[in-house]
C-alpha cells in the first residue's frame, strides 16, 4: 500500500503541524493504567520537534457524545506527555475558538500545544466540514498517527485532509506495514486466528473474510459464550449476546467444512461471582448449570489451543480469553500468551484490550512480531475494509 509519509515533507522548520494521535488510554482513579498509545507516538512527536515544527496535538478520550465531561479532559495526558518528552506541552481547554486560534498563531518553532478532547464537539463525529475547516486553519500540514481511530470518519481524522496536505506518522506507517502482508500476500501457514473479548460484531467481518483463508479459528472470552449458546450448550448466567446467537450459528455453518478447525471451548472456568476472591470451578462445558458464569477457558481448551499454536506459521490474536481484569480468570489467557511468546512464528496482537491482558499476565510485548494499537481498526483492516483515516494518506 503506497501512502504519503512524514519523511516526505521536505522542510518542517517553521511549519505548524496538526497531529492526530490516539491518546485514549485506560484511566483509573485519574491515573493512566497503560501508556502504550502515548509512548508509541513519541517517535513522531520527537521527530517533528527535532525538525523545528510547532505541533498542535489532537486526540479524543472516551465517548462524551459531544458533551464536556470533566473526567475526560486531556489535562493529565498533556502533563504525562510533557514529562515523557521533557518539553512543555501547553494544554488548551477548548478544541477550537478564537482563543485557541490566537494561542496557535503565536506559537514558536518547537512548541507543543494539545487541544481539548475532540469528541467534546458534536461536529467531530459528524465530520462537519465547517468544523474540519476550522481545525485545518490551525496548521500548515496534517499528520495522522492515530491508526486505532483510522476506521472513524471524523473531522480530526479525515475531514481536515480536505484542507491540508496529509501524511502518515511513524506509528501509522508501522501499523500498515505490519498488517498489509496478512491480506496482500500469502501468509506463512498454518494461519491461526484467535478471537476473544466480548463482542461478536467487531470480529464477524474478519471471521467471514478469513473463513476459507485461515487454517484454524480459536474462540474464547465472552465471545465464545455466544458461540456455545449457538451450538446448543447451556451457558448458565454467563455474559453472551443473545441477539447474536443466530449470527454465530451462521458463522459456524459457514465453517462447517472446517469443523475440526473452528474450535470453541470444551472446558471452562466458572464462578457464581466476579471478584478477586471468587471461588472457581473447572468444568466440561456440558456440566455448566444455570447459576454459573463462564469467565475463562479451561486448561484442556488452553492446551488444545497451544498445540495448534505450536505448529502455526502465523497467529493473529484479538481479545482476551477470560475476564483478565480479575486474577481468578486470567489463566487461559496466560497459558496461551506464554505459548505464543515461546513459539517462533509471525504473531500479530490486535487491540488495546489484548495488549492490556498480556501486561496483566506478565508476558513481555517484545516476544511478539507486532502489537497493534488498534482493536476495531486492526480488525476492519484485516477484514479488507477501506479505513477512511488511511484512504486520505494514499498516494
Catalytic sites, residue numbers? 37, 199, 352, 376
Residue 192 to residue 312: CA distance in whole angstroms: 6
C-alpha cell at 295: 469467565
Residues 6+ apart with CB under 8 A from 151: 374, 376, 377, 380, 381, 385, 387, 388, 389
Task: Match 496482537 to its residue by C-alpha cell.
Answer: 349
- Sign of the alpha-carbon torsion through 304, 306, 311, 313: positive
C-alpha cell at 75: 489535562
Residue 94 to residue 101: CA distance in whole angstroms: 10
Query: Apex CA 209: angle with CA 208 and CA 212, to 5°?
Result: 85
Q: What DSSP state is assigned to residue 39?
A: H
Q: What DSSP state is assigned to residue 150?
A: T
How many C-beta atoms surround the C-beta of residue 291 within 10 A? 9
Residue 280 to residue 345: CA distance in whole angstroms: 33
Q: What DSSP state is assigned to residue 159?
A: G
Residues 389, 150: contact at Cβ < 8 Å? yes
Alpha-carbon distance values, 134 to 93, 96, 111 (Å): 16, 7, 20
Residue 79 to residue 67: CA distance in whole angstroms: 23
Residues 75, 35: contact at Cβ < 8 Å? no
Task: Match 500468551 to its residue by C-alpha cell.
Answer: 337
DSSP per-residue string spanning 311-380 = T-SEEEEES-SS-TTSGGG-HHHHHHHHHHHHS-SEEEEESHHHHHHHHHTT--GGGSSEEES-SHHHHH
Amino acid at each position: 500500500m503506497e501512502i504519503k509519509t512524514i519523511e516526505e515533507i521536505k522542510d518542517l522548520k517553521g511549519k505548524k503541524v496538526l497531529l492526530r494521535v490516539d491518546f485514549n488510554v485506560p484511566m483509573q482513579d485519574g491515573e493512566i493504567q497503560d501508556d502504550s498509545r502515548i509512548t508509541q507516538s513519541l517517535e513522531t512527536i520527537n521527530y517533528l520537534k527535532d525538525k523545528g515544527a510547532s505541533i498542535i496535538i489532537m486526540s479524543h478520550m472516551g465517548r462524551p457524545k459531544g458533551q464536556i465531561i470533566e473526567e475526560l479532559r486531556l489535562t493529565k495526558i498533556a502533563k504525562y506527555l510533557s514529562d515523557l518528552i521533557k518539553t512543555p506541552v501547553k494544554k488548551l481547554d477548548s478544541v477550537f475558538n478564537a482563543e485557541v486560534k490566537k494561542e496557535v498563531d503565536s506559537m514558536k518553532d518547537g512548541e507543543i500545544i494539545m487541544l481539548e478532547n475532540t469528541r467534546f464537539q458534536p461536529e467531530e463525529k459528524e465530520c462537519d466540514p465547517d468544523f474540519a475547516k476550522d481545525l485545518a486553519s490551525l496548521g500548515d500540514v496534517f499528520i495522522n498517527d492515530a491508526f486505532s481511530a483510522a476506521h472513524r470518519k471524523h473531522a480530526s481524522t479525515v475531514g481536515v485532509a480536505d484542507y491540508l496536505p496529509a501524511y502518515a506518522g511513524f506509528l501509522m506507517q508501522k501499523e500498515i506495514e505490519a498488517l498489509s502482508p496478512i491480506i496482500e500476500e500469502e501468509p506463512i501457514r498454518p494461519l491461526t486466528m484467535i478471537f476473544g473479548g466480548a463482542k461478536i460484531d467487531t470480529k464477524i467481518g474478519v471471521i467471514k473474510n478469513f473463513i476459507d483463508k485461515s487454517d484454524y479459528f480459536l474462540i474464547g472470552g465472552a465471545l465464545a459464550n455466544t458461540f456455545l449458546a449457538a451450538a446448543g450448550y447451556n451457558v448458565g448466567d454467563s455474559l453472551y449476546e443473545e441477539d447474536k446467537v443466530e449470527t454465530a450459528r451462521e458463522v459456524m455453518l459457514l465453517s462447517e467444512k472446517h469443523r475440526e478447525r473452528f474450535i470453541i471451548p470444551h472446558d471452562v472456568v466458572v464462578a457464581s461471582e466476579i471478584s478477586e476472591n471468587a471461588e472457581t470451578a473447572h468444568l466440561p462445558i456440558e456440566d455448566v448449570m444455570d447459576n454459573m458464569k463462564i469467565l475463562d477457558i479451561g486448561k484442556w481448551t488452553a492446551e488444545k489451543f497451544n498445540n495448534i499454536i505450536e505448529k502455526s506459521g502465523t497467529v493473529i490474536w484479538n481479545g482476551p480469553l477470560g475476564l483478565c481484569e480479575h486474577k481468578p480468570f486470567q489463566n487461559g489467557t496466560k497459558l496461551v500468551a506464554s505459548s505464543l511468546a515461546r513459539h517462533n512464528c509471525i504473531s500479530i496482537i490486535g487491540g488495546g484490550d489484548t495488549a492490556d491482558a498480556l501486561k496483566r499476565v506478565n508476558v513481555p510485548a517484545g516476544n511478539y512480531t507486532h502489537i497493534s494499537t488498534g482493536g476495531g481498526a486492526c480488525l476492519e483492516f484485516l477484514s479488507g475494509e477501506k479505513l477512511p483515516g488511511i484512504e486520505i494518506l494514499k498516494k
